Structure 1
């Protein structure tokens, strides 16, 4: 059963170009992974002044495919090392597609 992830990232407006560049790199790498069905990044249009936010929609063939995604070199470089230290908030929702 497909496994979905929705992530909401918020950062300072000054950090948005770095976060956006890292997410763009993830959009290049993630769709090539076995088990990835979708990786879509959105920039939120209603964010308070001085902040930027992004919403990611990810879908995988199953939860093990998502777990494998979190072990890739690009996940470690772009998400763990580049993006997460810049975030002021992060919310993750996971679920199975009906």
Structure 2
């Protein structure tokens, strides 16, 4: 069963360009992962510094492999997360 991740990120408007660049870099690397089915990055229209990510993997193991990838650590853990003022993540099985 496919596995989906929906993440809501918010950063200060001054950090928006840096977060956007790191998310887009992560998107390209993630889309090349064998278990990735989709990785979409959205800028929230009415919220400066707001981002919504929709990720879909073949299964939970595919998502775990994603979290272990070097680009996840470099782009997300080390670059994006320190700049965030808010972060929430929802995990779901795709029906």
Q: TM-score scaled to structure 2, two decimals?
A: 0.98
Which residue in the other structure is 1:32 paired with? 32
1:27 positional shift:
1.4
Runs of 4+ in 1 over 6 A off after TM superposition: none
Which residue in the other structure is 1:95 paired with? 92
Within a 5 Å distance, the mapping from 1:4-15 to structure 2 comes to 4-15=4-15
Distance 2:72 2:35 in 1: 15
Task: Extract unaligned runs of 5+ from structure 1.
Answer: none
Which residue in the other structure is 1:86 paired with? 83
Deviations 1:5-64 (A, max 9, x none): 0000000000000000000101110011011000000000111xxx41100000000001
Task: Extract unaligned runs of 5+ from structure 2.
Answer: none
- Corresponding residue SS for 2:68: coil
- Count, aligned residues: 95
1:96 positional shift:
0.3
Q: TM-score scaled to structure 1, two decimals?
A: 0.95
Q: CA RMSD in A?
A: 0.6
